[in-house]
Structure 1
Amino acid sequence: MSATAVSPEAAAQLLFPPNVQFNNSRLYTVKFLSSCFAGAVAGVLGLENTLGFALFVFSTLLTSSCLYVKCKGKPAKFVPGGWWELVNPGQENIFSFVLVWTLFYGIVHVYD
């Protein structure tokens, strides 16, 4: 028996919707906490402009690579969209990063 290639549409049908919903919820939570933590680090370190956003990109890539390892190299098996869904930071996470970044920057560096 030879292994046949499965089309993306057929692969999406193999995913059980409650499990996909749970995985997406956990993925959103991990990305949100990662972006908030990166914002806090950027604020405490006093990073400004592109250095702060570079930290956000670095933290997003680091989080994505950790999730990729956790998925054992097959993210499409757990979330629809596969690898792109892991790397995509999401608009709300960028806003959360900026909010926490400015908050911690203001708290720590208020009299600089």
Structure 2
Amino acid sequence: MAREKFGTLTEQMFYILLCLQSEWCGMDLMERVKEMTAGRVAIGPGTLYNLLESFQEAGMIRQTKVEGRRRSYRITQNGLRALDEEYRRLTELAGDYRRYREGGEA
């Protein structure tokens, strides 16, 4: 079964939305994600700009500023909802792990 486009978020998607609670341009956003994750998550320019376009089309982010080729973005209410839903999903996964792995249940 195909996954709904934003039914779950990849790490790159999650961190882009998390960062866009503040205004960022694309190149700075790539650096910010790398910094936030101590280099664990890297986003290349092709991936970043495809995700930004998809997020914008879905109404999850909005463009806030254009200065030449430099475009800045911020998260919208739709994006915040998706981010919050993903956080709840990840928290449930972690809870399941604790109960069944650390708790020894089978």
Q: TM-score, normalised by structure 2?
A: 0.32
Q: TM-score, normalised by structure 1?
A: 0.30
Q: Of Structure 1 and Structure 2, which has the larger fraction of its residues in helix? A: 1
**Greater Rg over alpha carbons, structure:** 1
